[in-house]
C-alpha cells in the first residue's frame, strides 16, 4: 500500500481579516503618564465610543480579540468582549510605544506579532492597540504603500479613538479601509 503525504495548502492557516481598533477616548485630565503602564482610563464618552464599536463589530465572524494591557485598551476591550461574548487575550506586544522606543522598534514588534498570528489558526481577529502600533501594522502589511495622509486625528494619530481599520487579505496583499468611526453625541 502506497502512503502519500498531502501537503496542506499554504494559505489554510493565514489571517483573512483583521480589525485594528484604537482604544476609545482616554481621560487626559488625569496626570497619569500616557505612555507608561497603566496609563489613563477611559472617559464616559470613551465608554460610549467602545460600545458603538462593539455594536458595529457584531455578526462579523470574529474569532478572537487581542488587546494591549494598558488601562484604556483594557476598558475598550472589556466593553467589546462583554457585548460580543468572545474570547480575548491581553498581550504586551500591542502596548503603547514606550519612552525612547522608536517607530522602527514598534514596527519590528508589530511585524513579529503579525507573523505569529499569520501562522496561527485564526482567520478573523481584532487587535485593540494604540496609534503608533496600528500605524506600524498598516505600513507593514502594505509594504509602506498605504496613504495615511488624509487620516489625521487627535494627537497626530492616523486612527480616531475607537476607530476601526478593516483589512482584507487578497492572497498576497492586504487592502485597508477606515471602516468605522464612532459618533459623539452633541450636548
Nearest CA among 56, 15, 54, 23 for reference residue 41: 23
CATH number of this structure's domain 18-63+71-123+130-167: 3.40.50.1240
| Structural Rg of the chain based on CA atoms | 17
- What pTM, to 2 d.p., does this model score? 0.91
| Residues 87, 111 contacting (CB under 8 angstroms) | no
- pLDDT value of position 156: 92
Q: What is the mean pLDDT of each run of 10 residues along the chain (187 residues)?
A: 40 84 97 93 98 98 98 99 97 97 98 96 98 98 97 95 97 94 74
CA distances, 88 to each of 68, 128, 135, 143 (Å): 11, 10, 22, 28
- pLDDT value of position 172: 84
Amino acid at each position: 500500500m502506497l502512503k502519500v503525504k498531502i501537503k496542506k495548502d499554504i494559505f489554510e492557516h493565514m489571517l483573512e481579516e483583521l480589525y485594528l481598533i484604537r482604544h476609545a477616548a482616554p481621560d487626559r485630565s488625569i496626570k497619569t503618564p500616557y505612555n507608561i503602564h497603566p496609563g489613563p482610563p477611559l472617559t464616559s464618552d470613551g465608554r460610549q465610543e467602545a460600545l458603538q464599536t462593539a455594536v458595529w463589530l457584531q455578526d462579523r465572524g470574529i474569532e478572537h480579540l487581542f488587546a494591549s494591557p494598558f488601562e484604556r485598551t483594557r476598558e475598550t476591550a472589556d466593553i467589546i468582549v462583554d457585548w460580543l461574548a468572545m474570547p480575548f487575550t491581553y498581550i504586551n506586544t500591542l502596548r503603547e510605544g514606550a519612552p525612547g522606543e522608536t517607530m522602527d522598534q514598534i514596527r519590528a514588534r508589530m511585524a513579529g506579532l503579525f507573523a505569529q498570528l499569520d501562522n496561527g489558526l485564526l482567520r478573523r481577529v481584532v487587535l485593540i492597540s494604540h496609534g503608533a502600533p496600528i500605524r506600524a501594522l498598516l505600513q507593514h502589511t502594505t509594504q509602506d504603500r498605504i496613504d495615511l495622509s488624509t487620516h489625521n486625528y487627535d494627537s497626530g494619530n492616523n486612527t480616531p479613538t475607537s476607530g476601526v481599520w478593516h483589512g482584507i487579505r487578497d492572497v498576497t496583499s492586504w487592502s485597508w479601509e477606515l471602516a468605522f468611526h464612532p459618533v459623539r453625541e452633541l450636548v
